Amino acid sequence: MKLSVGLIGYGYWGPNLARNIQQNSDLALVAICDQNMKRLADATTAYPQVKAIAEPEVLLADPTIQAVVIAVPLRWHYSLAMRAIAAGKHVLIEKPMAETSTQAQELVAAARSTGVVLMVDHTFVLSGAVQRIRQLIDSNELGKPTYYDATRINLGRFQPDTNVVWDLGPHDLSILDYLFDHHDPIHVVATGHCHLNQGIADMAFVTLHYPDNRIAHLRLSWMSPVKIRQTLIAGDRKMAVWNDLEADEKLKIYDTGIHVNSDNAENWQLVLPEYRVGDVWSPRVDRTEPLALLMQHFAKTCRERIPSPLTGEAGVRNIRLLESISAVLQANLNAVQVREQPWVAS
């Protein structure tokens, strides 16, 4: 028996969700909702057999719908998810989960008391590459993780109600949450720049210091002429480079290490580390579209209540970090403004 699913939001991301719901053998796409009539017509063309609904209320009131997938602008997340939970439906919601961590916690509490599944679309966590990296950590092939250094830059898509940290950051923060065992950073350094609109950072540089000598750096931008999705993940035994735009060799493991040898002192130089540069190995990575894996995971979680790395709680941690980073970033933007316009300070 398939789980019947209603999709709310058929804008930029909605069509991808619709296609992956449709193609999943455990899910039945029964309704699509969008208040924009053009988009609703597009949905009907692509899925003639699916109910097209203009008002979310109508979809949420349909007792045959067991689960809803929410893909609307951020400011609508909380109220729609809350009403879906109240209507007893499982909820899969786009990242970031809500506008504030308080809202996110309320959603988690509501889902818990109602007994429905609340899942956040932190898609990359389920991707073949991240799952492979997690295995390489668990098998001690990489060794103890030491750093995560991500470049996630491209041109646009500028969004009016969220900055680049809230747009691109959730991907890396959810991966970090998964790879660094849900630890929180102990110190946040972040700054950025608003090229287009004074209120909205479109370029951000974020460093997260974690306990146990771990560090993460995120380079996020909507202002790059080239699209880059490259992440360096080092362990103390080997190092990995994940290039998500590569078709064939997304993941490369470098048999590279550094150790200190105290015997090679000499005239003008002191004790220096030795570098081991060895083979490079590109393990086969599951190429299934992450959104397909997500839909399978959502269906299974709704039916079997399996443990999931994409819980509402992970969504809350994600938003708490977004809030911390935004606060530090804003403080630096303020400092720059003060120094750029000295008369403001006088």
Which residues from 154-173 bind a copy of itself, rule CB under 8 A?
Answer: 155-161
The residue from 144, 227, 303, 305 that contacts a copy of itself (CB under 8 A) is: 227
Would you say 109 or 280 has its CB closer to a copy of itself?
Answer: 280
237 lies in the site for a copy of itself, by CB under 8 A: no
Least spacing, CB of residue 40 vs a copy of itself, in Å: 11
Smallest gap from residue 260 Cβ to a copy of itself (A): 7
Which of 284, 288, 303, 327 touches a copy of itself by CB under 8 A? Answer: 284
Minimum distance of a copy of itself from residue 195's CB (angstroms): 6
Contact between 1 and a copy of itself per CB under 8 A: no
Report the nearest approach of a copy of itself to the CB of residue 114 (Å): 27
Give the C-alpha separation, 29 to 257, whole Å: 50
* 8 Å CB contact between 271 and 265: yes
Concatenated DSSP letters of 146-200: EEEEEEEEEE----TTS-HHHHHHHHHHHHHHHHTTTPPPSEEEEEEE-SS-TTS
* Contact positions with a copy of itself (CB under 8 A) in 179-208: 186-187, 189-191, 193, 195-197, 203, 205, 207
Q: With respect to a copy of itself, which residue has the nearer C-beta, 283 or 300?
A: 283
Chain centroid to Cα 109, Å, comes to 22
Choices 82-90, 118-126, 168-176, 274-282; region in contact with a copy of itself by CB under 8 A: 274-282
How many other C-beta atoms can be found within 10 angstroms of the C-beta atom of residue 259? 9
> Of the two residues 23 and 102, which places its CB atom closer to a copy of itself in the complex?
23
Tell me if 149 contacts a copy of itself by CB under 8 A. Answer: yes
209 touches a copy of itself (CB under 8 A): yes
Q: In what order do the strands lie in the sheet with 90-94?
A: 51-53, 27-33, 3-8, 67-70, 90-94, 118-121
Q: How many residues touch a copy of itself (CB under 8 A)?
A: 83
What one-letter code names the amino acid at 77?
H
Closest CA to 28 of 67, 72, 86: 67
Candidates 79, 261, 264, 282; binder of a copy of itself (CB under 8 A) is 282
256 near a copy of itself, judged by CB under 8 A: yes
Contact 295, 27 (CB under 8 A): yes
Element (H, E) at 78: helix 77-86
DSSP string, 120-155: EE-GGGGSHHHHHHHHHHHTTSS-SEEEEEEEEEEE
What residues numbered 124-143 form the site for a copy of itself, per CB under 8 A? Answer: none
When asked if residue 13 is in the footprint of a copy of itself (CB under 8 A), the reply is no
Q: Does 86 bind a copy of itself (CB under 8 A)?
A: no
> Looking at beta carbons only, is 10 or 310 nearer to a copy of itself?
10
Distance of CA 282 to the CA centre of its chain: 24
